[in-house]
Amino acid sequence: MTSNTPDANFITGSDGLIAVDKIGNKILFLDPISYETMLTLDGFAPRVHELAISPDHARALVPIYGDGIHGNNPNPGHLLAVFDLKARRHEGDFSTAPYLAPHGVRWGPQGQLYCACENSAVVLEMDASTGKIQHVIEAGSDKAHRIEVLPDGSKLYTENEEDGFASVLDLRARTLIKKIMTPNGLAGIGLSPDGATIILVDAVVPRILVVDTASDAVTRSIALEGHAKAAQIARYSPDGKYLVITSHDEPLATIFDADLGSQQVVRIGEGPMNMAFHPDGRTVLIGNQDDGTISVVDLASAKVARSVRAGRGVEALSFF
């Protein structure tokens, strides 16, 4: 599982669609055209969270976070479940032990696998073929929940939830080099495909902070129109034309254009979380964790084209 492409963390494709049903603790394979659930895999330790597709589209990795939620995870997990995407099967697990509560997972440009272990306040660099831990990087926070890696592999960013800052890690020196202060704490993080911009999602008020990755400084603060509560997930489309923000506490998604100059709000299902960008470049699927549906949204018009049932509560999903 190696890649020299800058878009290893912006996967899409037409071969299949996988979804992480966090609430049901299952993995779903859906038809990539009809979105009908074709196969359900279960029997996992509590609880499946997040998702990363390998750059060659051969495997998926799903962290086993633990039986709780952020801030209340009394029995943290230590596994990354590995799935063969061609065979649609669970082929085994990687262990993050002794590091606990794996959550955010991203790829480096040479196929490096990075995983934030929240309870242990570290980011692991792992061999993506064997799961062997190669390096342990102190994150500076035991709240590090989600991560992003620059396309050139120079830096990794963590959003640290309540700690009031995002961490900037130098991946060549494997050390913490800066804290980007965010007084309200954070609920999400996103990266533009060109690596120029990090989006930090404010945990208290409905706004996003725009970070220039050249200086690692906040350059803009943008209020989310039509939102009464803070949002959470921030994801750019693989072509960089859209930024989509979802708010788990409101049934809303905001769609920004590439320069973040305009935004459109669309009402979707309850508890929206992460999303999958369709290879047509026009459609995004958003998992609604609190009502067991997926909203199929047209990005240009910011309208729901359809809603489909999927599991009990999908948190993350991806085309491959």
- Asked whether residue 81 is assigned to any structural domain, the reply reads yes
Question: CA–CA separation, 154 vs 214, rounded Å?
Answer: 11
- Asked whether residue 92 is assigned to any structural domain, the reply reads yes
Look up residue 151 and give its amino acid. P
| Token duo for residue 209 | 């902070």
- Asked whether residue 124 is assigned to any structural domain, the reply reads no
pLDDT at 3: 40
Query: Which of 202, 213, 223 is CA-nearest to residue 265?
Result: 223
pLDDT at 58: 96
How many residues are recorded in the chain?
A: 320
- Asked whether residue 144 is assigned to any structural domain, the reply reads no
- Asked whether residue 86 is assigned to any structural domain, the reply reads yes
Question: CA–CA separation, 219 vs 210, rounded Å?
Answer: 6
Would you write out the chain's pLDDT as a tens digit for each of its 320 residues?
434 344 789 999 999 999 999 999 999 999 999 999 999 999 999 999 999 999 999 999 999 999 988 888 889 999 999 999 999 999 999 999 999 999 999 999 999 999 999 999 999 999 999 999 999 999 999 999 999 999 999 999 999 999 999 999 999 999 999 999 999 999 999 999 999 999 999 999 999 999 999 999 999 999 999 999 999 999 999 999 999 999 999 999 999 999 999 999 999 999 999 999 999 999 999 999 999 999 999 999 999 999 999 999 999 999 99
- Of 109, 129, 147, the position where a domain reaches its end is 109
Instruction: Report the 3 state secondary structure along 157-226.
Output: EEECHHHCEEEEEECCCCEEEEEEECCCCEEEEEECCCCCEEEEEECCCCEEEEEECCCCEEEEEEECCC
The CATH code of the domain that includes 74 is 2.130.10.10
pLDDT at 7: 74
What are the φ/ψ torsions at residue 259 (nearest 5 degrees)? -90, 5
The CATH code of the domain that includes 252 is 2.120.10.30
Give me the number of domains the chain comprises: 2
- Asked whether residue 80 is assigned to any structural domain, the reply reads yes
Cβ-based neighbours of 8, under 8 Å, separated by 6 or more: 55, 107, 108, 109, 111
Residue with tokens 């995407």: 85
pLDDT at 1: 42
- Asked whether residue 212 is assigned to any structural domain, the reply reads no
Burial classification of residue 43, based on how many CB atoms lie within 10 Å of its CB (0-12 exposed, 13-18 middle, 19 or more buried) = exposed
Question: CA–CA separation, 165 vs 198, rounded Å?
Answer: 13
Domain range for 13 is 1-109
Does the pTM surpass 0.85? The reply is yes
- Of 109, 128, 150, the position where a domain reaches its end is 109
Question: CA–CA separation, 174 vs 192, rounded Å?
Answer: 22
- Asked whether residue 269 is assigned to any structural domain, the reply reads yes
- Of 62, 80, 109, the position where a domain reaches its end is 109
pLDDT at 70: 86
